[in-house]
């Protein structure tokens, strides 16, 4: 359920039916909520119904922080089968995985190669481990994720890389290899996501659909006019009033300059 669809209970059902029609299928293997914005509770109710009717064999979520994930589980009949989150050697998400394991949710990695950033493919530690095993850095990363019990679906359009990505079950990383890779964790998303993963989106969209953590301040929402027609949202605890002030100076994302102080107070329910 793509976030730009402004999902609701009715729209989630309609979107699934439209997808099935386009795919020429009677059911999908897995249906995910893209992000916890908008009426994602309504979307989840529709997805639970679709699961019961056999239109989806499994349902799950994507980009849910631990608090959002636990809240969804506690207030619904069915827990997500999967939570697909950014997971790679530089952002390992061990706490997230621990929460998922406790709740019976499978962690799945998107961006397992850090989208090629931070020099992943030339990283000295990864390169040394790969050379010792006679494998590529990509294969080492995929094997590391598999040994951590992280489901991973790497993306490639090149036949030789598709074959390489599948050839990761004939070797194992040692405990020392795993420990060395663990030291690469920065506990942050990659720098291209700007300060604290700041993301901007157009204010003419009907819902706040973006995630940010601005300079360590938890900001629940910003009025549409705050950034000349752009919205900024930040991680916040669900159902809490959040007072926050964040100073943003020369943050640039997708070529958009921001230089404005903001003061926001809003209810976190339904927002980031």
**pLDDT (tens digit, 9 = 90+) per residue, 228-249?**
333 333 333 222 222 333 333 3
DSSP 215: T
Per-residue pLDDT, averaged over 10-14, amounts to 89
Q: Does residue 5 register a pLDDT over 50?
A: yes
- pLDDT 10s digits, 39-97: 899 999 999 999 999 999 999 999 999 999 999 999 999 999 999 999 999 999 999 99
What are the CA-CA distances from residue 118 to residues 121, 150, 191 (Å)?
9, 21, 8
**Does residue 176 sit in helix, strand or coil?**
helix
CB 190 within 8 A of CB 91: yes
In whole angstroms, what is the distance from residue 35 CA to residue 210 CA? 8
The predicted structure's pLDDT at residue 118:
82
Q: Does residue 226 register a pLDDT over 90?
A: no
Entry pTM: 0.70
In whole angstroms, what is the distance from residue 126 CA to residue 136 CA? 9
């Amino acid at each position: 359920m793509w976030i730009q669809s402004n999902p609701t209970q009715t729209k989630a059902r309609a979107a699934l039916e439209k997808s099935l029609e386009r795919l020429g299928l009677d059911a999908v293997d897995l249906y995910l909520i893209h992000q916890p914005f908008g009426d994602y509770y309504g979307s989840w109710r529709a997805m639970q119904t679709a699961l019961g009717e056999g239109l989806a064999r499994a349902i799950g979520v994507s980009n849910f922080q631990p608090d959002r994930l636990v809240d969804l589980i506690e207030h619904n009949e069915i827990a997500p089968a999967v939570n697909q989150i950014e997971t790679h050697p530089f952002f390992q998400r061990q706490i997230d995985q621990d929460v998922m394991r406790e709740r019976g949710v499978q962690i799945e990695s998107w961006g397992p190669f850090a989208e090629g950033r931070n020099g992943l493919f030339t990283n000295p530690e990864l390169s040394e481990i790969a050379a010792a095993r006679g494998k590529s850095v990509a294969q080492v990363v995929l094997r590391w994720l598999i040994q951590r019990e992280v489901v991973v679906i790497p993306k490639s359009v090149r036949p030789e890389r598709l074959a390489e990505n599948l050839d990761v079950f004939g070797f194992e990383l040692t405990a020392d290899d795993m420990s060395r890779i663990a030291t690469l964790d920065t506990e942050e998303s990659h720098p291209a996501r700007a300060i604290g993963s700041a993301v901007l989106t157009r204010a003419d969209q009907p819902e706040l659909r973006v995630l940010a953590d601005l300079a360590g301040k938890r900001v629940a929402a910003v009025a549409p006019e705050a950034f000349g027609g752009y919205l900024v949202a930040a991680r916040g605890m669900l159902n809490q009033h959040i007072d926050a002030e964040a100073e943003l100076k020369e943050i640039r994302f997708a070529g958009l300059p921001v230089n404005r102080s903001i003061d926001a107070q809003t209810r976190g329910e339904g927002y980031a």
